[in-house]
Amino acid sequence: MKNPYYPNLASPITIKGLTFKNRIFGAPMSNPELDADCNMRKEEIAFHENRAQGGLASVCIGLGIVDAVGRTHTKEVKLYDVMSLPSLKEAANAMHRHNCNAVMELAHGGKYAGARSHGDKSKPLVLGPNDEVNPEGLAVTQMTEEEIYRVADCFASAAALVQKAGFDMVLVHGGHGWLLGQFMSPGMNRRTDRWGGSLENRMRFPLLVIEKIREACGPAFPIEYRMSGAELVEGGYTLEEGVKMARMLDGKVDIIHVSAGVHEDPDVFTLTHPSMFVEHGCNVYLAAEIKKHVKTPVATVGGLNDPDMMEEIIASGKADIVELARQSLCDPYFPEKAFSGNKDDITRCCRCFTCFYNYLTNRTFCCAFNPVIGNELANRSGFPATTPKKVLVAGGGPGGMEAAITAAKRGHSVTLYEKNSRLGGQLLSEEHIPFKQDMYQFVRVLEGRLKKAGVEIRLDTELTPQQAAAEKADVVMVAIGAKQIVPPIPGIDSSKVTDLHALHQSPPALGQKIVILGGGLVGCESAIYLDSLGKDVTIVEMKEDWAADSYFMHKNAMNMYIRDSRIKIHVQTTAKEVTDQGLLCTTPDGELLLPADNILLAAGMRPDRAAADAFYNTAPRVFQIGDCIKPGRVLEAISLGYYRALDI
Ligand SMILES: Cc1cc2nc3c(=O)[nH]c(=O)nc-3n(C[C@H](O)[C@H](O)[C@H](O)COP(=O)(O)O)c2cc1C
């Protein structure tokens, strides 16, 4: 039988006798935190199990390291240590509970491995294709032939361990600049022996690894090989050579998984993990070209979040499989919702990099839109409420909406008040910005959930503390947002000064020359949008750096746009006065007049604490949520809305 909504995407595929229930696989994601012995804890297993629950055909756990010398950081599963077996078994079982195939990635950092990772800092051994110094300043030792064979054996015994633990398939990481990718790369592999130089020589090591895994695990155990279809850097291999590599892998592996790029180049990083500034499915062309030349099933990955697009990819034969990383975290129930005709309820990943940033810097998983991520274990007991209560929510921004939905789903009777005619709060500013569409669509998803949960919505109605008290509710949730900061400078009340509401209109009613006062994340994104409309945009920022409040990957992505645009940025520059000509500023070099038809305020937000506090004692329990406490990101608003609603 065919699925009525996505007949191709939902069709099973059998590889080496192993059936995958549909074509949506969970791409490798590693664990932000492990125990002191680098075993997955219950929390990490719950994270992957949560991905498995929503209908993915398989979930791949990222970065199982095959050799102590190949560690790139301290939180990678040790596949070279038999003591990892119990937690691996637990992880495989967790996926199998949901009819989801368990896949483990086998990786080796090669020249990017670090001494901090494997202990002895006095004698770090870092192996790579060549003698050189790595970005950490460590000497990389060129692998001898003996080392190459030893590491190939490490891959094989790691695969055998994973197989013993009950995993259904291994994914060998040969892309993104990891060890096997380093050997494949003409830029990174400068050897002159039989392991470098020609394409055949550069592919010798990856092919040896595959041969060794086959010997160790038997011919029936499926092997997926992740490669970059093209390295996308100067001196790296192109798609033309990527096709030749894929042809050499054809028939030797069971899935050719085509990603893109290498991880050391900040620009390319935002193509490997596509940013919101590139189109969805921007790497599909690589898989599609490779697919024309091989018989082995081909997988594509990168920036996919739309089931219609995925169906088209499979139906048109561009790839046999689509793989999701961030989308599988943003909404693990993506497949189930798509296949049951419920695609409007899918929370689409907006590629904000919240997950990646927090994974790298805070060593935790989280998602701007999905409050459960990183807290999967605790959330197993959230529903339903013991005693249904009357709940009022003041404010229909994302935090208020999430609070209302969660409270209503738990059985409470909820009324949501919004003083404007539309729900969405700050997210309404994204409506017309092309690269923020997924973020804006989130409002629509939340609206759908509000209706489904039975929340009574009162638009154009401001809930005052007096009315709240008169309603005699059990709980009042205050999510009234924050106010824009208006710098107290002469001329600020000029008609040419406008706030971000100007962006609610399309096209915005702004003149040609625009000065944006405030070069934080919001100001910079607004600048990119206005520049794309052909406006002449200048950003004024007091701090030493622009977009200092943005995640660094997102900033890299913005930088790629801004440096090739006409946008001018003045940092360490303070607004002094709005004049008839424009904005007069103070810079370290003296005064500067920036001509402007309009000045757009993006100087940040300030909570109206008095307005929020006025709700205290209007009900037995009063909760505050989101920007009215402290202006933050959607992440904080959603998270607080969700968890406070669980407190009722
Ligand atoms: C938080 C996070 C962790 C990741 N961990 C790994 C990993 O361990 N191994 C790997 O090969 N790729 C890893 N990736 C890359 C993804 O597998 C994927 O190639 C990339 O994110 C693009 O897919 P997406 O747009 O669906 O996120 C990770 C990505 C993210 C966002």
How far apart (Å, rounded) are the C-alpha atoms in residues 250 and 223? 12
Torsion, Cα 308 450 402 43, to 10 degrees, reads -60
Cα(177) to ligand 1 centroid in Å equals 13
pLDDT at 117 exceeding the cut of 90: no
Cα(325) to ligand 1 centroid in Å equals 5
Q: Which of 576, 592, 613, 600 is nearest to 528 (CA)?
A: 600
**For residue 316, what pLDDT band results from cuts at 50, 70 and 90?**
very high
How far apart (Å, rounded) are the C-alpha atoms in residues 298 and 285? 12
Ordered by where they begin, the domains of the chain are 21-378 (3.20.20.70), 382-484+606-646 (3.40.50.720), 497-603 (3.50.50.60)
| Residues constituting the chain | 648
442 lines ligand 1 (CB under 6 A): no
Residue closest via CA to ligand 1's atom 23 equals: 302
Residue carrying structure tokens 């499989």: 321
Q: Is residue 554 within 8 Å of 576, Cβ to Cβ?
A: no
Mean pLDDT, to the nearest integer, of 538-557? 96
Mean pLDDT, to the nearest integer, of 331-356? 97
Listed in sequence order, the residues at least 6 apart from 448 whose beta carbon sits closer than 8 Å to its beta carbon are 344, 345
**pLDDT at residue 364 in the model:** 87
Main-chain phi, psi angles of 170, to 5 degrees: -115, 150
For 437, the token pair is 């569409």
30 lines ligand 1 (CB under 6 A): yes
Q: Is residue 226 within 8 Å of 257, Cβ to Cβ?
A: yes
**For residue 380, what pLDDT band results from cuts at 50, 70 and 90?**
low
Q: Closest ligand 1 atom to the C-alpha of 326?
A: 27
pLDDT at 116 exceeding the cut of 80: no
pLDDT at 161 exceeding the cut of 80: yes
Q: Which of 24, 25, 30 to mutate to test the pocket of ligand 1 (most atoms within 8 A of CB)?
A: 30
**pLDDT at residue 386 in the model:** 86
**pLDDT at residue 124 in the model:** 66
pLDDT at 36 exceeding the cut of 90: no
Mean pLDDT, to the nearest integer, of 610-621? 97
- Given its phi and psi angles, is residue 17 left (phi above 0), alpha (psi -120 to 50 degrees) or beta? left
**Which sign does the torsion angle of CA 429, 433, 436, 438 carry?**
positive
29 lines ligand 1 (CB under 6 A): yes
Cα(543) to ligand 1 centroid in Å equals 33
**For residue 381, what pLDDT band results from cuts at 50, 70 and 90?**
low
- The string of pLDDT tens digits covering residues 514-536 is 999 999 999 999 999 999 999 99
pLDDT at 125 exceeding the cut of 90: no
Residue closest via CA to ligand 1's atom 6 equals: 29
Q: Closest ligand 1 atom to the C-alpha of 27?
A: 17
For 441-472, letters b (16+ CB in 10 Å) and e give: bbbebbbebbeebebebeeebebbbeebeeee
Share of the chain above pLDDT 90, in %: 90
Residue closest via CA to ligand 1's atom 3 equals: 29
pLDDT at 379 exceeding the cut of 80: no
**pLDDT at residue 597 in the model:** 98
Residue 569 forms beta bridges with which residues? Answer: 539
Cα(273) to ligand 1 centroid in Å equals 7
Cα(632) to ligand 1 centroid in Å equals 26
Residue carrying structure tokens 């029936």: 220
Q: Which of 29, 48, 262 to mutate to test the pocket of ligand 1 (most atoms within 8 A of CB)?
A: 29
Element (H, E) at 69: none
**pLDDT at residue 75 in the model:** 78
Q: Is residue 607 within 8 Å of 531, Cβ to Cβ?
A: no
Cα(365) to ligand 1 centroid in Å equals 12
225 lines ligand 1 (CB under 6 A): no
Main-chain phi, psi angles of 224, to 5 degrees: -105, 135
Q: Closest ligand 1 atom to the C-alpha of 259?
A: 19
Q: Which of 24, 106, 273 to mutate to test the pocket of ligand 1 (most atoms within 8 A of CB)?
A: 273
How far apart (Å, rounded) are the C-alpha atoms in residues 375 and 381? 11
**What one-character-per-residue DSSP string does 247-276 give?**
HHHTTTSSEEEEE--BTTSHHHHHHHTT-T
Q: Closest ligand 1 atom to the C-alpha of 301?
A: 23
Q: Closest ligand 1 atom to the C-alpha of 274?
A: 25
Mean pLDDT, to the nearest integer, of 17-22? 98
For the question of whether the overall pTM of this predicted structure is more than 0.85, the answer is: yes
Cα(356) to ligand 1 centroid in Å equals 8
Residue closest via CA to ligand 1's atom 12 equals: 28
How far apart (Å, rounded) are the C-alpha atoms in residues 259 and 645? 40
pLDDT at 275 exceeding the cut of 70: yes
Greater pLDDT, 375 or 381: 375
Burial class of residue 292 in the structure, from the number of CB atoms within 10 Å of its CB (0-12 exposed, 13-18 middle, 19+ buried): exposed
For 162, the token pair is 């994973």
Q: Closest ligand 1 atom to the C-alpha of 30?
A: 8
Residue carrying structure tokens 């997950």: 355
Q: Which long-range contacts (CB under 8 A, 24 or more apart) does 243-249 make?
A: 243/289, 243/290, 243/293, 244/199, 245/184, 245/199, 245/203, 246/290, 246/293, 246/294, 246/298, 247/293, 247/294, 248/199, 248/200, 248/203, 248/207, 249/206, 249/207, 249/210, 249/225, 249/294, 249/296
- Given its phi and psi angles, is residue 504 left (phi above 0), alpha (psi -120 to 50 degrees) or beta? alpha
> HEC string of 442-500?
HHHHHHHHHHHHCCEEECCCCCCHHHHHHCCCCEEEECCCEEECCCCCCCCCCCCEECH
Element (H, E) at 174: strand 169-174
**pLDDT at residue 121 in the model:** 54
Tell me the H-state helices in 494-633.
521-532, 552-563, 609-613
62 lines ligand 1 (CB under 6 A): yes
Greater pLDDT, 512 or 118: 512
How far apart (Å, rounded) are the C-alpha atoms in residues 134 and 155? 23
Average pLDDT of the chain, as a whole number: 95
Mean pLDDT, to the nearest integer, of 606-617? 96
**pLDDT at residue 549 in the model:** 94
**pLDDT at residue 599 in the model:** 98
Cα(345) to ligand 1 centroid in Å equals 24
27 lines ligand 1 (CB under 6 A): yes
Residue 132 forms beta bridges with which residues? Answer: 140
- The string of pLDDT tens digits covering residues 44-86 is 999 999 999 999 999 999 999 999 888 888 778 999 999 999 9
28 lines ligand 1 (CB under 6 A): yes
For 377, the token pair is 């274990």
Distances from the Cα of 564 to the Cα of 551, 555, 559, angstroms: 20, 14, 8
Which amino acid is located at 468 in the chain?
A: A
pLDDT at 120 exceeding the cut of 80: no
> HEC string of 17-67?
CEEECCCEEEEEECCCCCCCCCCCCHHHHHHHHHHHHCCCCEEEEEEEECC
- The string of pLDDT tens digits covering residues 561-593 is 999 999 999 999 999 999 999 999 999 999 999
**pLDDT at residue 73 in the model:** 80
- The string of pLDDT tens digits covering residues 405-421 is 999 999 999 999 999 99
Cα(31) to ligand 1 centroid in Å equals 11
Q: Closest ligand 1 atom to the C-alpha of 323?
A: 26
**How do 582-587 and 590-595 pair as beta strands?**
antiparallel
Cα(323) to ligand 1 centroid in Å equals 10
Count of alpha carbons within 13 angstroms of residue 6, beta-carbon side = 26
Torsion, Cα 487 493 499 504, to 10 degrees, reads 170
325 lines ligand 1 (CB under 6 A): yes
Among the ranges given (28-37, 453-462, 547-556), the one the predictor scored with the smallest mean pLDDT? 28-37
Q: Is the peptide bond before 384 cis (omega within 30 degrees of 0)?
A: yes
Distances from the Cα of 554 to the Cα of 324, 551, 590, 639, angstroms: 19, 5, 32, 21
Q: Is the peptide bond before 507 cis (omega within 30 degrees of 0)?
A: yes
Element (H, E) at 515: strand 513-517
- The string of pLDDT tens digits covering residues 218-271 is 999 999 999 999 999 999 999 999 999 999 999 999 999 999 999 989 999 999
Cα(259) to ligand 1 centroid in Å equals 10
